């Protein structure tokens, strides 16, 4: 996907959302009673929130899809994008229940030993990982507050 296509899709998505918000704002002005206008404005806040969240999710997914489609090697991507592409690998490295292949069936359950073995394996394979294309997982960017990845953390400038 090229930059003009990406930009056009973002602008199209934003345009219909802005049009719908304007529609509701205009309808609210037709209400005559102040308490009804206040009630309507409170409801409009929910619509604004939904549109903001929906647009962010759309934009991040579009950006993620474009990055994945480019098949850029991790060592050619920005550190933030490469880290997003390695999300699954980092999750496995941090999982204390993951064991190195050599220790799956032997040795006692020693967390420090297994963590060191995973770190060693990572270092052994880091050149290989750097050559892999960036593939950001579908669920990497979420709009839920607990799992939200801020665009700045991804190195994006909006």
Each residue's pLDDT tens digit, 43-74: 999 999 999 999 999 999 999 999 999 998 88
3-state secondary structure at position 145 = helix
Q: What is the pLDDT of residue 84?
A: 86
* Cβ(42)–Cβ(31) below 8 Å: no
Q: What is the pLDDT of residue 112?
A: 78
How many of the other CB atoms lie within 10 Å of CB of 53? 13
- Max distance between CA atoms of the chain, in angstroms, equals 77
Q: What is the pLDDT of residue 11?
A: 95
How many of the other CB atoms lie within 10 Å of CB of 118? 20
3-state secondary structure at position 15 = helix
CA dihedral 26, 32, 36, 37 (to 10 degrees): 40
Look at residues 53, 47, 72 and name the one whose alpha carbon lies nearest to residue 133: 72
Q: pLDDT under 70 in the chain at which residues?
A: 98-109, 143-158
Measured between alpha carbons, how far is 29 from 40 in angstroms, rounded to an integer?
A: 10
Measured between alpha carbons, how far is 135 from 140 in angstroms, rounded to an integer?
A: 10
| Assigned token pair, 132 | 């892999």
Measured between alpha carbons, how far is 157 from 153 in angstroms, rounded to an integer?
A: 10
């Amino acid at each position: 996907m090229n930059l003009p296509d990406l930009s056009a899709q973002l602008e199209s998505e934003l345009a219909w959302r802005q049009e719908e918000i304007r529609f509701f704002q205009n309808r609210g002005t037709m209400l005559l009673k102040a308490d009804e206008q206040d009630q309507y404005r409170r409801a409009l806040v929910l619509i604004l929130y939904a549109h903001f969240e929906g647009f962010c999710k759309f934009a991040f997914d579009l950006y993620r899809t474009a990055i994945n489609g480019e098949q850029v090697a991790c060592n050619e991507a920005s550190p933030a994008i490469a880290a997003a592409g390695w999300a699954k690998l980092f999750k496995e490295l941090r999982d204390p229940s993951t064991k190195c292949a050599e220790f799956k069936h032997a040795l006692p359950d020693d967390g420090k030993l297994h963590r060191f073995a995973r770190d060693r394996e990572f270092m052994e394979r880091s050149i290989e990982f750097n050559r892999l294309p960036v593939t950001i997982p579908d669920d990497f960017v979420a709009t839920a507050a607990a799992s939200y990845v801020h665009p700045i953390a991804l190195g994006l400038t909006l």
